[in-house]
Amino acid sequence: MSRLEAKKPSLCKSEPLTSERVRATLLVLKGIVASCYGPSGRLKQLHNGLGGSVCTTSQSSALLANLSVTHPILKILTTSVQNHVSCFSDCGLFTAILCCNLIENVQRLDLTPTTLIKLNKHLLNLCTSYLQSEVCGCRIPVDFSSTQILLCLVRSVLTSKPACMLTRKEVDHISTLILRAFLLTIPENAGDHISLGSSIIVPLKGQRVVDSTVLPGILIELSEIRLMKILPVKKSDSLKVALFRVSLSGDLSDTGEGSVVVSYGVSLENAVLDQLLNLGRQLVSDHVDLVLCQKVIHPSLKQFLGVHRVLAIDRVGAALMEPLSKVTGTQPIGSLGSISPSSYGSVKDLCTAKFGFKWFLHLIPNEATVCSLLLCNRNGTAWDELKLTCQTALHVLQLTIKEPCVLLGGGCTETHLAAYIRHKTFSDPESILKGSGCTSTELQLITEAFCTALESLTGSLEHDGGEILTDMKYGHFWSVQADSPSDVNWPDLLTRCGCGLHNSREELSWSFLRTARHPFAPRPCLPHEAVGSANNLTLDCFTAKLSGLQVAVETANLILDLSYVIEDKN
């Protein structure tokens, strides 16, 4: 009998944020995520020292999924960000950087955690109320009769991911395709409640990005070109389809648990094959034109169906089952018994198509909200990043339908919001302090820490040593190149603000972002008509950024409230 080891006592650490090791670790995490932020963010390469795949990315979803985190406080932070990204797809880096900034800034204040958390919540409510109000100066309503704002939103998502390695022409091409794919998922006869379809991303690596395209329906990759020769003869306006989720290979792997009783002298293989052929006869007698199977079809059954001009496609995979069911209107068949006529569906037509070096079977739907985005890129690494980015852009468009507005991007929402909070707490502190039990001095200290956290976040957009400014009229973000002469007028150095809405030739005055300045009320942006006609705006998803703001503050409050960390070492 092996010797039993004595159980080790749990390790208890009080006031974890006072530990220099914890602070240094948080600073390292902040440095990693902040250096990835924005269109000029630096890429990160993640790999295991023992081998395996290598991930090159600047996206929070891929970065945090491949980042090994051990300290409990970091786990809280990264898990919160990952949960946010799993729900909204976008603004993960924004959330992580803001959370780190808040923790770092308020730690310098000689205030109790209770006071910090209470006032952080008040300032968060002030932010969310303003962003959701009609007078918000950094929110733009979306007019769905025009695609201009939606294209700018998609383009902003693409340009913020440098690992996609896209040129300006390629960004415009992919942006148009993503918007077209999204529009194809919207039903033509939409009522009060819209049920969106889906866009399937089909990989085609090693091809030019501009060869990417969008097709209504579904593309199924063909492993054998000979299938081109046995396309069914179209007998009517549509083709009848049967969709199987059960294996048609003849093995017994799908029979479930239990025992199989076989009579003496009976060949199990022949009995199963007879059952498959009987199934094939029913499909032929029911005038089925196309058989699709999630798993494998027995060669004999495939040959039998081919003789009767029925096209059989197997190994379509679990991922395509739901889209195939939507496109064809079929109910996936899960047994080898008699098939109900209601299980069958149909497609308008099908054909084969060649893209690059691959052949595909194209199922053209009657009326369906499913489309295929054939996505190309030069290599596998860039394609993986582009796929993630396209999925994010499609999700962002879906969120915009639910909440039809966007926020100004490029750092302008953060600097505008910081200016608004400073002005509000300076001009009307009583409305915020009412019932809080805090003093105005404490409010001003927390406000400065909160606003500095927002402004430091925008500073993460500059990775080349440039200076960050804000204008004293709209509170927008401006950047100037490093080593610029100090005796030149700002309008001669600046071009447009971060979101692209304002230019330097307007009557503006500027101030360095990290210098003290008197609080001012930022003015709203241009009228909606002028905004709608503006080209090349940088925009952010309203729902994703609002959620990211809430998650960042709430996670920071949770971490600030920790008084003990107890670790079980057994």
CATH of the domain at 292: 3.50.7.10
Are residues 119 and 223 both part of a single domain?
no
Mean predicted confidence (pLDDT) in 178-189: 90
Q: Is the pLDDT of residue 385 over 80?
A: yes
On whether residue 1 sits in a domain, the answer given is: no
pLDDT at 255: 54
Boundaries of domain holding 271: 218-253+265-367
Tokens for 401?
């339908």
Mean predicted confidence (pLDDT) in 470-489: 81
Are residues 24 and 116 both part of a single domain?
yes
Question: What are residue 220's DSSP bridge partners?
Answer: 361
pLDDT at 261: 66
On whether residue 259 sits in a domain, the answer given is: no
pLDDT at 253: 55
Q: Which residue has the tokens 């080593």?
A: 483
Are residues 399 and 422 both part of a single domain?
no
Confidence of residue 235 (pLDDT cuts 50, 70, 90): low
Q: Is the pLDDT of residue 91 over 90?
A: yes
Residues 41, 57: Cα–Cα separation, whole Å: 10
Predicted TM-score of the model (pTM)? 0.90
Q: Is the pLDDT of residue 66 over 70?
A: yes
3-state secondary structure 56-87: EECCHHHHHHCCCCCCHHHHHHHHHHHHHHHH
Return the percentage of the chain with pLDDT > 90, whole number: 55
Are residues 157 and 132 both part of a single domain?
no
Please give the helix or strand (H or E) that residue 46 lies within, else none.
Answer: strand 44-47
Q: Which residues of 93-129 are buried (b: 16+ CB within 10 A; e: fewer)?
A: bbbbbbbbbbbbbbeeeebebebbbbbbebbbebbee
Q: Is the pLDDT of residue 21 over 90?
A: no
pLDDT at 159: 96
Are residues 58 and 173 both part of a single domain?
no
pLDDT at 304: 93
On whether residue 3 sits in a domain, the answer given is: no
Work out whether strand 239-244 and strand 477-480 pair parallel, antiparallel, or are unpaired.
unpaired
Total domain count, the chain: 3
Contact status, residue 345 vs residue 243, Cβ threshold 8 Å: yes
Q: What are phi and psi of 250, to 5 degrees?
A: 90, 0
Tokens for 73?
């406080």
Are residues 415 and 563 both part of a single domain?
yes
Question: What are residue 555's DSSP bridge partners?
Answer: none
DSSP letters spanning 509-554: -EEETTS------PPP-S-HHHHHH--S--EEEHHHHHHHHHHHHH
Are residues 25 and 112 both part of a single domain?
yes
Residues 38, 41: Cα–Cα separation, whole Å: 5
Contact status, residue 551 vs residue 76, Cβ threshold 8 Å: no
SS3 311: strand
Type of residue numbered 448: E
Q: Is the pLDDT of residue 234 over 90?
A: no
CB atoms within 10 A of CB 411: 30
pLDDT at 267: 67
Tokens for 180?
């077209």
Mean predicted confidence (pLDDT) in 230-237: 61
Are residues 301 and 347 both part of a single domain?
yes
Residues 61, 82: Cα–Cα separation, whole Å: 7
Q: Is the pLDDT of residue 490 over 80?
A: no
Work out whether strand 44-47 and strand 54-57 pair parallel, antiparallel, or are unpaired.
antiparallel
Are residues 126 and 232 both part of a single domain?
no
Contact status, residue 113 vs residue 560, Cβ threshold 8 Å: yes
Please give the C-alpha separations between residue 220 and each of 119, 212, 215, in angstroms, as whole numbers: 55, 16, 12
| Torsion sign over Cα 306, 312, 313, 317 | negative
pLDDT at 15: 76
DSSP symbol at 336 = S
Are residues 469 and 557 both part of a single domain?
yes
Among 155-169, 219-233, 300-314, top mean pLDDT goes to: 155-169
Are residues 29 and 81 both part of a single domain?
yes
On whether residue 180 sits in a domain, the answer given is: yes
Contact status, residue 381 vs residue 523, Cβ threshold 8 Å: no
